[in-house]
Amino acid sequence: MNILADILSATILFAAPLLMVALGGMFSERSGIINIALEGIMIIGALCSCLFLRVLDDSGFGALHPQLAMFYAVLMAAGTGALFALLLAFASINLKADQTIGGTALNMFAPAFAIVLTWAIQGQGQTTILIPTWARITQETFGIVEKDTFLQNLIFKSFYQTTIWAIVLLIAAVIVLYKTRFGLRLRACGEHPQAADSVGINVYRMRYAGVFISGVLGGIGGLAYTLAAGSAFQSTVSGYGFLALAVMIFGNWKPWNILGASLFFALFKILGSYSGSIPFLPKFENIKASENIYLMLPYIVTMIVLILTSKKSRAPKSEGIPYDKGRR
């Protein structure tokens, strides 16, 4: 039973960053901008929030009010991610550049900048930023006695504030996208910007908003990934930004589908890393390094599902096309 709790809690832990970043990508693409820079945005969000956590730890504030400090870190990740994303918005909206150009530049900039900055702050060769131990939510946070039960293992094994934020932001995303005037306008700009413009919607402003929101979600997602991946930030999010892009397409640019896609992908990923300790899975004893088979599994399964569901797949019609007022 304990292994089941472990697998489920790890799945949720890894699904949270995928979910948030994919939702970010969704907002950007729904407004008409392909955001390939999600990887870079995640790194910048994680970098700044982890540095901020270090500062809070050194000043003693973090140990006193751990969850309040985490809340500030989340805000930091969101803010820096959004600022960084504005660079993409400027290149692709104002300059009407190819959206992959700006995105590639940001993806290349972020990890290099992270390494340069961590070196500059922490001294030569110090490329990791340790995350304070108080960041995790434990039984202690709620004053509950620690017990080795299924439920406690499920919830507290790896529980961070970012997981709560993932749920809150998912609900917020659904409401904003489908229940507000803003959401309707945003979607219109991704489908038919000329029509949106003709009824008085400022397409440039809506696209800026879409990219900004993707920066907020991508930044928090970066922090969530770093918390999930280990005890330190190492100037990388190991391709999770690109995976989130895949999850977004897998989820057909719809929030609930994206939730399903990220849980599905995370579950297969965790099954891969736990494959040795799950009794009913085949072990492939005569093959060396057979763990690679399980590590491949999430990607292969995703591809198969994509082929099966591709008939229904529908991207926002005008994504990737710079909007030009002169061409109606």
Partner 1 sequence: MSEKKKRSFRLPNMTSFFASMISIGIGLVFGLILLIILNPEASGEAFVSLISAGFRSSDKFAKVLYQAAPLIMTGLSVAFAFKTGLFNIGATGQYTVGGAFALIAAIQLQQPWYVCLILALIGGAFWGLFPGLFKAYFNVNEVITSIMFNWIAMFAVNLTINNLPMMLAKYWGGAQMDRTANLAQANPSALIPRLGLDELMNSNYMNISIFIAILFAIVAWIILSKTTFGYELKACGFNRNASIYAGINAKRNIVLSMVISGAFAGVGGGLYFLAGTGQYTLLKQLLTAGFNGIPVALLASSHPIGTIFSALFVSYIQVGGDAMQPDFVKEIIDIIISVIIYLAAFALLMRELLTRRSMLAHDAEGDTPLPPADPEEKSEVSES
State the Cα torsion 38-39-40-44 to the nearest 10°: 90
Query: Whose Cβ is closer to partner 1: residue 98's or residue 157's?
Result: 98
Distance of closest approach, residue 59 Cβ to partner 1, in angstroms: 25
Structure-token pair, residue 88: 């993409």
Q: Is 72 in the site for partner 1 (CB under 8 A)?
A: no
Distance of closest approach, residue 191 Cβ to partner 1, in angstroms: 17
Q: Is 112 in the site for partner 1 (CB under 8 A)?
A: yes
Distance of closest approach, residue 217 Cβ to partner 1, in angstroms: 19
- Binding to partner 1, residues 233-252 (CB under 8 A): 238-239, 242-243, 245-246, 249-250
Q: Are 53 and 73 in contact (CB under 8 A)?
A: yes
Q: Is 282 in the site for partner 1 (CB under 8 A)?
A: no
Q: Could you tell me if residue 33 is left (phi over 0), alpha (psi between -120 and 50 degrees) or otherwise beta?
A: beta
Q: Is 3 in the site for partner 1 (CB under 8 A)?
A: no
- Of 3, 116, 184, 281, the one binding partner 1 (CB under 8 A) is 116
Q: Are 100 and 36 in contact (CB under 8 A)?
A: yes
Structure-token pair, residue 91: 């290149």
**What is the distance between the alpha carbons of residues 251 and 17, in angstroms, rounded to a whole number?**
15
Specify which residues 232 forms β-bridges with: 130
Structure-token pair, residue 40: 């870079």
Mask 285-304, x = binds partner 1 (CB under 8 A)? Answer: --xxxx-xx-xx--xx-xx-
- Binding to partner 1, residues 182-241 (CB under 8 A): 197, 200-202, 204-205, 238-239
The crossing angle, in degrees rounded to 10, of helices 2-30 and 38-59 is 120
How many of the other CB atoms lie within 10 Å of CB of 143? 6
Amino acid at residue number 228: A
- Interface segment toward partner 1; rule CB under 8 A; list 68-76, 100-108, 131-139, 214-222: 100-108
Mask 121-150, x = binds partner 1 (CB under 8 A)? Answer: ---x--------------------------
**What is the distance between the alpha carbons of residues 5 and 327, in angstroms, rounded to a whole number?**
56
Q: Is 274 in the site for partner 1 (CB under 8 A)?
A: no
Residue with tokens 């709620």, as numbered in its chain: 142
**What is the distance between the alpha carbons of residues 237 and 245, in angstroms, rounded to a whole number?**
14
Query: Whose Cβ is closer to partner 1: residue 84's or residue 165's?
Result: 84
- The residue ranges that bind partner 1 (CB under 8 A) are 36, 87, 91-92, 94-98, 100-102, 104-106, 108-109, 111-113, 115-116, 119-120, 124, 197, 200-202, 204-205, 238-239, 242-243, 245-246, 249-250, 287-290, 292-293, 295-296, 299-300, 302-303, 306-307, 310-311, 313, 315, 324-327
